[in-house]
Amino acid sequence: MAYSQSTESSLIIQKYSQKFCMIYKPQVNNVIKDSDLSSKMILQINKDRCCAEIETLASISSCEGPAVTRILYSTEDQRSRQWLKGLMNEIGLTISEDGLGNLTGRWTGSDENLSPVATGSHTDAIPFSGKYDGVIGVLGAIEAIRSLQEAGFKPRRSIDVIQFTAEEPTLFGIGCLGSRAMSGSMTVSEMSALRSDQEDDIDKLRKAAGYHLPLSDVLLDSSYYHGFIELHIEQGPRLERDKLDIGIVTAIAAPATLKFELKGDGGHAGAVLMPGRKDALVAATYIIQEIEKAANNSESPDSVATVGIMDIHPGAINSIPSHVEFYADIRDINLDSRNQMVQYIKDSASQICKDRNIQLKVSTVNADDPCLSDPAILDTIEAACVEASVSYKRLVSRAYHDTLFMSRICPTAMIFIPSESGYSHRPEEYSSPEEIEKGILILAKTLAIMSHDI
């Protein structure tokens, strides 16, 4: 499908704010036209090309399709990065990688003195996940750049496509590792303290994957980027329900992750009688019920709490669990509600363990603040939707994204496309080629404006 900028409107720039002094507006008076933004630019998003690439990437997985698994620094993660570098090379992007493996492809702009605009997302995938989470933001960015190049567009600010390292909390149990580090939301010593399930430290694992640069160089200066925008699937049902093409994300919910370590007493499942048992797993099940209760009883409709992973030691049918370790993922758009849940859960857990003579250690893996999108970028995305005649609404993101951390160092916003039945983090994840095409179109238009924003 070809999308033409209507000749009377074209890409028009209007000075309207200090921070972002250009906005994409179809019909305004007293506009400044920019010679690099062709009024006849035709953006041709090749959805078949992009969808074929989505399938190729999905085939680089450590589980059988249609599910996808790509864990940080695994062979599949490494192969997918190599393949992505090939795509970046094909379209002339200048590639760089930092000590964590954050991968950036730069389309160099005409004025290298200006800070670049960035876009991107992640391609790592939790076990038995889908094809689209994160991938749309990376391969969609590649397609957006290709379509702009094919339309003859020339950026003034450079445009960076970033594939962030480990948005998913797999190997080290912490989400958004790459963007967290880039934005200075995690110090080098906090990074160095990270350990995998196998107790391997991050230096050993990243170096084995080929990333030798110092972790201190991952941090970006807070003036490094002019702005960041991420295309992503909604991972919820609102756009599909309302029959809308695009979600313009105004805020991202605040996640907290707690790690629970319970130590009881093991023994023979037949020989140790019930009175006086210190079964760590039974205590954990009571804590998990309180975790569910915390979210159910919260006054906020956005409160959610989940336990999705647990280790039981020694892990035999006929042995009383002596040690249990599990994580709780607790979220809300509203920070106070999130924090109240966290407190309730900690208090309940310590009471349960006290009553059952179980030793308890609770650590906060992360407790992040929510973020708000930049009003000027939101308006720019909205104007792009109006100009392209795609339907849209503003909404909040209940999932977290690398944008949450990029917002600590530059103005940000996100573009959502519909997810069939709201499915995500499961193999049934699906967005249609037409939905993907519209998302890429809006991303391309927004990048075009931001890259000429001075």
Nearest approach in angstroms of CB 315 to ligand GLV is 26
Q: Which is nearer to ligand GLV, 327 or 400 (CB)?
A: 400
Nearest approach in angstroms of CB 253 to ligand GLV is 8
Least Cα distance to 74 among 54, 60, 55, 59 occurs for 60
Q: Which is nearer to ligand GLV, 168 or 234 (CB)?
A: 168
Q: Which is nearer to ligand GLV, 100 or 145 (CB)?
A: 100
Nearest approach in angstroms of CB 173 to ligand GLV is 12
Q: Which of 76, 168, 234, 245 lies at the binding interface for ligand GLV (CB under 6 A)?
A: 168
Q: Looking up tokens 């200048």, which residue turns up?
A: 94
Task: Write out the binding residues for ligand GLV, residues 370-399 only, by CB under 6 A.
Answer: 399
The residues near 103 (Cβ < 8 Å, ≥ 6 apart) are 81, 84, 85, 88, 95, 96, 97, 162, 163, 165
Q: Considering CB distances under 5 to 8 angstroms, the limit depending on partner class, which of Mn ion, ligand GLV, none binds residue 405?
A: none
Q: Which is nearer to ligand GLV, 3 or 327 (CB)?
A: 327
Q: Which of 77, 124, 133, 290 lies at the binding interface for Mn ion (CB under 5 A)?
A: 133
Q: Which is nearer to ligand GLV, 320 or 330 (CB)?
A: 330
Kindly state the number of chain residues that form the binding site for ligand GLV, as judged by CB under 6 A: 4
Q: Coil, helix or strand for 349?
A: helix
Q: Coil, helix or strand for 344?
A: helix
Q: Considering CB distances under 5 to 8 angstroms, the limit depending on partner class, which of Mn ion, ligand GLV, none binds residue 98?
A: none
Q: Coil, helix or strand for 67?
A: coil
Nearest approach in angstroms of CB 122 to ligand GLV is 8
Nearest approach in angstroms of CB 329 to ligand GLV is 7
As a whole number of angstroms, the distance between CA 430 and CA 396 comes to 20
| Site track 193-232 with ligand GLV (rule: CB under 6 A), x = hit | ----------------------------------------
As a whole number of angstroms, the distance between CA 389 and CA 28 comes to 17
Least Cα distance to 60 among 41, 78, 35, 42 occurs for 78
Helix, strand, coil tally for the chain in percent (to 5)? 35, 25, 45
Q: Dihedral, CA atoms, 241, 243, 249, 252, nearest 10 degrees? A: 10
Least Cα distance to 242 among 419, 389, 433, 428 occurs for 419
Residue 176's alpha-carbon distances to 42, 219, 278, 399, in angstroms, are 35, 14, 36, 12
Query: Which residue of the chain is nearest ligand GLV when measured via CB?
Result: 399
Q: Considering CB distances under 5 to 8 angstroms, the limit depending on partner class, which of ligand GLV, Mn ion, none binds residue 73?
A: none
Q: Which is nearer to ligand GLV, 153 or 400 (CB)?
A: 400
Burial track 176-195 (b if 16+ CB lie within 10 A, e otherwise): bbbbbbbbebbeeeebeebe
Piece of 16-24, 128-136, 180-188, 429-437 that binds Mn ion (CB under 5 A): 128-136
Task: Write out the binding residues for Mn ion, residues 23-42 only, by CB under 5 A.
Answer: none
Q: Which is nearer to Mn ion, 287 or 413 (CB)?
A: 413
Return the H-helix or E-strand segment holding 94.
Answer: strand 94-97
169 in contact with Mn ion (CB under 5 A): no
Task: Write out the binding residues for ligand GLV, residues 40-59 only, by CB under 6 A.
Answer: none
Piece of 131-139, 211-219, 239-247, 276-284 that binds Mn ion (CB under 5 A): 131-139
- Residue 322 burial (CB count, 10 A): 19
Q: Which is nearer to Mn ion, 133 or 435 (CB)?
A: 133
| Site track 169-188 with ligand GLV (rule: CB under 6 A), x = hit | ------x-------------
Q: Which of 99, 130, 134, 418 lies at the binding interface for Mn ion (CB under 5 A)?
A: 134
Q: Which is nearer to Mn ion, 133 or 453 (CB)?
A: 133
Nearest approach in angstroms of CB 344 to ligand GLV is 21
Sign of CA dihedral 106, 107, 108, 111: negative
The residues near 65 (Cβ < 8 Å, ≥ 6 apart) are 58, 59, 427
Q: Dihedral, CA atoms, 340, 343, 347, 352, nearest 10 degrees? A: 80
The residues near 356 (Cβ < 8 Å, ≥ 6 apart) are 264, 278, 279, 282, 283
Task: Write out the binding residues for ligand GLV, residues 395-454 only, by CB under 6 A.
Answer: 399-400
Q: Which is nearer to ligand GLV, 322 or 403 (CB)?
A: 403
What residues line the site for Mn ion (CB under 5 A)? 133-134
What residues line the site for ligand GLV (CB under 6 A)? 168, 175, 399-400
